Structure 1
Amino acid sequence: MHKRVYKAFNETLYTQTLANGLQVNLLPKRGFHKTYAIFSTNFGSIDRTFIPQNETTAVTQPAGIAHFLEHKMFDKKGYDAFDLFGKYGADSNAFTSFTKTSYLFSATQNVRKNLEILLNFVQEPYFTDDSVAKEKGIIGQEIQMYDDDADWQLYMGILNNLYPNHPAHVDIAGTTDSIDKITTHDLYLAYKTFYHPVNMDLFVVGNIDPEEILKWVQENQASKNFKPFKEPQVDNQDIKPKEIVKHRVISLPINRTKCIVGLKGLDDIPAGREGLAYQLQANLMFYLLFGESSEQYLKLYDQGIVDDTFSYEFDVQRSFHYASFSGDTDQPEAFQTQIKEILGQAEQRLSHLTNQFELAKKEMLGRLLQRMDSLEAIANSYDGQMFDQATIFDQAEIYEKMTLDDLIRLAPKLINLEGLSTFEIRPVKGK
């Protein structure tokens, strides 16, 4: 096994790429009783158009296929994987993002058995027409629930504005119409294209002996046969990256107007660790400009333009990235104008924040150190191939080396006012 030693944190990550291509990451944590494992595939909601294995023609599958597949993976012939985990004392779950699908468990006992359950149920697909039909009703109800969530509609509204020509504008779960088109054949096709060890990684952290865990995983994988695999050829690029919808308004039965300003990243982010540095620099930059202790936030708060509902987000995904600034407000026009003004003056404002930068960097490092005490945070922050196998400990090292000049140089690259869009949800008149 390869060892990556993080002396500053007294941590050692053990890594091994198995013969079948599976990337295994093992992090022993002293003083913990729990073990947490997460098994992920590089397949998310935006990966709908692809060339299947051993074929030459691309197919486009219905929106929501990755999320639907995640749900169906737990349903096996004669048993449910959730129930099997429970039998051996483990809590289990799964999630789908734009670019990844992950299956996980945490346990304080029967770690080997639960690890085998995790590997086996994810690597043994079983779908039937009847079970697929039943699942459509379950996921359809989930989608309808979010249709009634105004905050979710605000989020999806700005994504629709920023990415009209990219699959990111569609809900990860799809729509009731799109999931109704999903077939058993679609699920097997997606599974065979993306659920191969070469395209997956396993991260185990907690009360473990890495040599022992690796041996268990190797024995499990050696007992299975995997066909030769070609890296998936996926078409999820933005057709017209500079085309956005500048402004939209809808009405819902809410009490106050909800407003969001979106900033689309119009340039590609750097590859590997530089991409992670780009993400962390942007996070710190927006914290300095819009954090609760920033001069701009306090001014907007005092003017009644924003309140405690205000939040901002910066998200980096494979093939796209964006920032958003949202909240409930009684002054939507002023909200939009002020956010845009702050962004437009970002480079100038940052140049005067030397002391604030040092304090903010220490705060970010402090937050990161707190997350290092969470097994889930350690494993879930690992993005595999996207950032060249970087871990939460690599993030800390990037923050340590970060300077204010890095943020000042980043501002004009990321903040292109052509990439701005706004979306509002207003109360229904008469409500």
Structure 2
Amino acid sequence: MRENDKDKNGTAWAKTSSGMDCYFFPMPDYEEKMAAIVVKAGSNFLACNAKNQEKPLHFPEGTAHFIEHRLFRQKWGDAFSTFSKQGASANAFTDAEKTVYYFSCQENFFENLRLLLSFVQNPYFLEEETEQEKSIIQSEITMYDDNPDWRVYYQLLQAMYHHHPIRIPIAGDAKAMQKIDHRVLQQAYDFMYTPERFSLICAGNIRVPKIVEAAGMMKKKNPGEKPLFEREPESVKESYVEGKLGISRPIFQIGFKMTPVEREPIKQRILMSILLEVLAGESSAFYQEAYYKKYLDEPLGNAYFNGEGYAFCAFSGVGERGKEVSELLLKHLETLCQEGISEEDFRRICKKQIGRFIRRGQSVSGMVLGQIEWAMADCSAGQVFRYLKTVQKSEAEQLLCKAFAKDKLVLSVIR
């Protein structure tokens, strides 16, 4: 590890000879230890170029999620069971941009770390077990199809995007799943799981030099191909979409399709998190008016998402007045663009964001989960904190008037 690969607070990072990034958070006062491997390949990875082939290679929807399910199964047995026997709690998840494998423990950290580093490099996809897994994943798909929050979210994305795979549920559907077999899994694994797409994150009472040595076991592989995406129009596909699920009160999401960000995506996320709070937070003029008019009983939930080829924000609420809420939101957006953000509001929300960051640093899992997101943009915690400390009101105001457009608004409702 180079001398400059360390922040003043002791947080360190390195890159292995195989190309894997490593982030370390020594927290000697904690008993808990946690490690995660982030694979920068998620459900959006459905097509790529392949050497010696004239046409791009395509994978069925849900392939990355299926790999996550099967990778714990090794030639020698079940990695889940081994983690448990070694005193660790392990799990994994897939989203649009990444697949993450992680564990936490108090003892046997290095035994569990070596297990984590080993099984992500050694797939064992058998035909019979792959077929058996389909029933498990089908149950998961059915469960999410019956979830109103899940349904309203993917309705929003399917109305917002014409082609981009962000509109496709992470696990795919039953039809796509039938196209997946052990050969597809192996082929997709070979393209997705390459060391330059890996990030190792460790936090707790850890010994960094020993982890660096263990991380050296990551095998070298040829760099993988980048995913391919069909060109996405700037327009939304539909501005309103409604579905029925027989719930007692309707729920809705209001989304704005935005231009994808290629440079400094973490800085964009920080600016957007501030803007969403300014626009629709509990102390915002929008929420005060929406509450007074009885459109809302509580503030809208909000989130910003950006990845390769897509960016959007979404506001989530409950009640019959989704249309009125969206119109009121546009009204307050226009006012903010005309009048600007008050210095007092901006500074208060920035301090709130910094406070959240500091509180995250007081938890082993908080630091690991935060770095999982930051690693996707090749950022360390120290870089994120510097962004938080130096963000300017003028930058937020410029983004506000540029990113939110009336003709890019989509309203999704589930009744």
TM-fit CA distance, 1:336 = 2.2
Of residues 289, 296, 308 in structure 1, which corresponds to 2:286? 296
Of residues 247, 259, 283 in structure 2, which corresponds to 1:254? 247
TM-fit CA distance, 1:243 = 4.0
TM-fit CA distance, 1:376 = 2.1
**Aligned-partner residue type, residue 337 of structure 2:** E
Contact 2:255 2:409 in 1 (8 A): yes
Per the alignment, do residues 85 and 161 of structure 1 end up closer, same or farther by CA in structure 2, a change over 3 Å counting? same
Instruction: String of CA shifts for 1:387-418, please: whole Å, max 9, x gaps.
Output: 2x212332222121122211111112211222
Match of 1:213 in 2: 211
Match of 2:19 in 1: 21
Contact 1:53 1:232 in 2 (8 A): no
**Aligned-partner residue type, residue 99 of structure 1:** E
Which secondary structure state, in structure 2, belongs to the residue aligned with residue 109 of structure 1?
coil
Distance in 2 (alpha carbons) for counterparts of 1:399 and 1:332: 33
Of residues 390, 394, 407 in structure 1, which corresponds to 2:379? 390
Task: State TM-score, norm by structure 2.
Answer: 0.94
Contact 2:281 2:299 in 1 (8 A): no
Instruction: String of CA shifts for 1:268-310, please: whole Å, max 9, x gaps.
Output: 3141xx2211110111011011111212112211211012373
Of residues 225, 239, 245 in structure 1, which corresponds to 2:232? 239
Match of 2:331 in 1: 341
TM-fit CA distance, 1:15 = 2.4
Contact 1:92 1:104 in 2 (8 A): yes
Contact 2:323 2:411 in 1 (8 A): no
Match of 1:429 in 2: none
Distance in 2 (alpha carbons) for counterparts of 1:300 and 1:370: 31
Instruction: Compare 46-55 and 251-260 and name the one that shifted more.
Output: 46-55
Match of 2:97 in 1: 99
Distance in 2 (alpha carbons) for counterparts of 1:242 and 1:207: 49
Of residues 257, 261, 264 in structure 2, which corresponds to 1:269? 261
Which secondary structure state, in structure 2, belongs to the residue aligned with residue 12 of structure 1?
coil
Distance in 2 (alpha carbons) for counterparts of 1:146 and 1:75: 24
Matched, 1:420 2:398: no
Distance in 2 (alpha carbons) for counterparts of 1:161 and 1:345: 27
Per the alignment, do residues 165 and 345 of structure 1 end up closer, same or farther by CA in structure 2, a change over 3 Å counting? farther
TM-fit CA distance, 1:30 = 2.5
Which secondary structure state, in structure 2, belongs to the residue aligned with residue 6 of structure 1?
coil
Of residues 323, 327, 332 in structure 1, which corresponds to 2:322? 332
Per the alignment, do residues 174 and 364 of structure 1 end up closer, same or farther by CA in structure 2, a change over 3 Å counting? same
Identity of counterpart residues, as a percentage?
26
TM-fit CA distance, 1:386 = 4.2
Which secondary structure state, in structure 2, belongs to the residue aligned with residue 105 of structure 1?
strand
Distance in 2 (alpha carbons) for counterparts of 1:366 and 1:155: 29
**Aligned-partner residue type, residue 376 of structure 1:** S
**Aligned-partner residue type, residue 183 of structure 2:** H
Per the alignment, do residues 148 and 392 of structure 1 end up closer, same or farther by CA in structure 2, a change over 3 Å counting? same
TM-fit CA distance, 1:204 = 1.2
Matched, 1:230 2:228: no
**Aligned-partner residue type, residue 57 of structure 2:** V
Which secondary structure state, in structure 1, belongs to the residue aligned with residue 244 of structure 2?
strand
Instruction: String of CA shifts for 1:305-343, please: whole Å, max 9, x gaps.
Output: 012373111112222110111211122331221122223
In the TM superposition, 1:25-36 aligns within 5 A as 25-36=23-34
Match of 2:348 in 1: 359
Contact 2:40 2:376 in 1 (8 A): no
Instruction: Compare 184-193 and 297-306 and name the one that shifted more.
Output: 297-306
**Aligned-partner residue type, residue 328 of structure 1:** V
TM-fit CA distance, 1:78 = 4.0
Of residues 365, 369, 382 in structure 2, which corresponds to 1:376? 365
Instruction: Compare 195-204 and 83-92 and name the one that shifted more.
Output: 195-204
Distance in 2 (alpha carbons) for counterparts of 1:404 and 1:72: 47
Distance in 2 (alpha carbons) for counterparts of 1:395 and 1:402: 11
Distance in 2 (alpha carbons) for counterparts of 1:184 and 1:97: 21
Contact 1:329 1:335 in 2 (8 A): no
Of residues 37, 47, 65 in structure 2, which corresponds to 1:67? 65
Distance in 2 (alpha carbons) for counterparts of 1:154 and 1:404: 33
Matched, 1:6 2:4: no
Match of 1:315 in 2: 305
Match of 2:394 in 1: 405
User: Which ranges in structure 1 are unaligned for 5 or more consecutive residues?
Assistant: 427-431
Q: Paired residues, what number?
A: 413
Distance in 2 (alpha carbons) for counterparts of 1:270 and 1:50: 19
Distance in 1 (alpha carbons) for counterparts of 2:231 and 2:269: 20
Contact 2:6 2:13 in 1 (8 A): no
**Aligned-partner residue type, residue 305 of structure 2:** D
**Aligned-partner residue type, residue 289 of structure 1:** L
Distance in 2 (alpha carbons) for counterparts of 1:141 and 1:346: 46
TM-fit CA distance, 1:53 = 5.7
User: Which ranges in structure 2 are unaligned for 5 or more consecutive residues?
Assistant: none
Match of 2:142 in 1: 144
CA root-mean-square deviation = 1.8
Matched, 1:40 2:38: yes
TM-fit CA distance, 1:20 = 1.7
Contact 1:32 1:206 in 2 (8 A): yes
Which secondary structure state, in structure 2, belongs to the residue aligned with residue 346 of structure 1?
helix
**Aligned-partner residue type, residue 118 of structure 2:** N
Distance in 2 (alpha carbons) for counterparts of 1:231 and 1:258: 41
Distance in 2 (alpha carbons) for counterparts of 1:288 and 1:294: 6
Which secondary structure state, in structure 2, belongs to the residue aligned with residue 381 of structure 1?
helix
Distance in 1 (alpha carbons) for counterparts of 2:365 and 2:51: 33
Contact 1:45 1:66 in 2 (8 A): yes
Which secondary structure state, in structure 2, belongs to the residue aligned with residue 398 of structure 1?
helix
